[in-house]
Amino acid sequence: MEYDLILKGGTIVLDWGEVEADVAVRDGKIVSIGSDLGRGKEEIDASGLIVTPGMVDPHVHISEPGRTEWEGYITGTSAAAKGGVTSFVMMPLNQLPCTADRESLDLQLRTGEGRTKVDIALYGALTPNNLDSLEDLSYGGVVGYKAFLSSCGDRTKGDDMMNVDDYSLYRGMKTISCLGKVLALHCENAAITDGLGTEARQEGPDTLASYVASRPIFTEVEAVRRALYLAKQTGVRLHICHCSCPEAVSEVSESRFSGLDVTAETCTHYLYFTTDELDDIGNSVKCSPPIRDGKNLEGMWEKLFKGEIACVGSDHSPCTADLKEGTAFSAWGGIAGLQNSYDVLFDEAVQKRGMSLSQFVRITATNAAEIFGLKGKGRIAIGHDADFALIRPNAPYRVTEECLEYKNKLSPYIGRTVGCQIVRTIVRGRTVFSQESGVSKDFAGRFLLSK
């Protein structure tokens, strides 16, 4: 019987290791893995290439509607396709209104429907103002919730996202626990980081180094500890977003060993940049929690290799060029990293540090798909969605402004040499990016709603 698609002769990364084999696809699903599978309407030569399920990025900000000039569905998902990201979980903030009730969720879905190149699952917000809407959001299909312990949102805009206070965090945790969904948290102590930031701005110098110093490790660890303690009281399933230091990861691990259902995430940029280079790169590398020093980076790699960090995301958080101008403290904090989080990590983890391919796939796809309940995603297996990234190893290229698909061509990775290339990205059997033809014009992506 003829298949829709056969990938031929690639190195296929499976849960337990890799094999050289063909993969056959029918109706968007993987139906066979082996040799001499027969014929396909489309056949792709994957010899010499590593075939993975692509990245399932747990942390992406698309700011449409409301701040579409920062990033839109079309540009954002094009960058994802080009970067080997086959699906991602979209954050409830930076778009206006933030995704805090059924109405804003429906608006989000209407805005993105038919305009995405890759698949998208959604977070709902947890804020002090939407405790009564959490259940509605769950029925609407969000896969989890996101809350900030650090300050967030523009207070001059009523529909921007606001960080939780301890009461709304506790109440929200109880509700989300009953709904059986996961709560993802940005953990930094708001009062201390805000206070230290004000002091540092007054005293100067206004540099990225002093910005980093105003958000010390203990402010992150304190927030993680508080979250873990409250999770223990409420039974909520917890996911700690973008851990930037091994101390935070250790807190998560200890709680998990004691029986709490909690996972840690980090981002490629915490495994790649160090404080020494920040003021040379400029504000495009400003983020929170901040980039830390080289010793910290090595500690994060150790945690990643030991399996203490479940998944790596991009925390793609772009903005317009003018918002990145000005001083370190006044510039927007967020890194545009969606297009380069996967290839940079493959280079750094697999090629430079010898991580096994199956571990690489676990931390970039399988674990995130499990945490967020994305059925059929995150692994190459019979019956799973035919999502693939084809990677050419040991093939360096230089990241340029021109190659970026973002609405705003700003990225701290510009000028860097990456030691591998994404040759093709396939979502449910459809090529959404190839090096020969670029990003596909059609919109193969859809929303992954949780029921």
Interacting residues with Zn ion (CB under 5 A): 315
Q: How far is the CB of 318 from Zn ion (least distance, A)?
A: 11
Q: Which is nearer to Zn ion, 101 or 315 (CB)?
A: 315
Q: Which is nearer to Zn ion, 308 or 315 (CB)?
A: 315
Q: Return the number of the residue (289 or 429) whose C-beta is nearest Zn ion.
A: 289
- Which residue, 11 or 317, is less far from Zn ion as judged by CB? 317
Tell me which residue has its CB nearest to Zn ion: 315
- Residue 194 CB, nearest distance to Zn ion (Å)? 18
Please answer whether residues 180 and 144 qualify as being in contact, where contact means their C-beta atoms are separated by less than 8 angstroms: no
Q: Which two tokens stand for residue 400?
A: 């340029």
Q: How far is the CB of 442 from Zn ion (least distance, A)?
A: 29
What is the maximal distance between C-alpha atoms in the chain? 73
CB of 334 to Zn ion, least distance (A): 7
User: Would strands 50-52 and 388-392 be described as parallel, antiparallel, or unpaired?
Assistant: antiparallel
State in angstroms the smallest separation of the CB of 317 from Zn ion.
5
* Cβ 321 vs Cβ 275: under 8 Å: no
Q: Which is nearer to Zn ion, 93 or 426 (CB)?
A: 93
Residue 186 or 379: the one with the smaller Cβ distance to Zn ion is: 186
Q: Which residue lies nearer to Zn ion by CB, 315 or 405? A: 315
Beta carbon of residue 239, minimum distance to Zn ion (angstroms, whole number): 12
In the bound complex, what is the minimum distance in angstroms from residue 241's beta carbon to Zn ion?
7
We find the least distance from the C-beta atom of residue 242 to Zn ion, in angstroms, to be 7
Cα(242)–Cα(185) distance, integer angstroms:
9
* Smallest gap from residue 358 Cβ to Zn ion (A): 28
Give the separation between CA 343 and CA 419, rounded to whole angstroms: 8
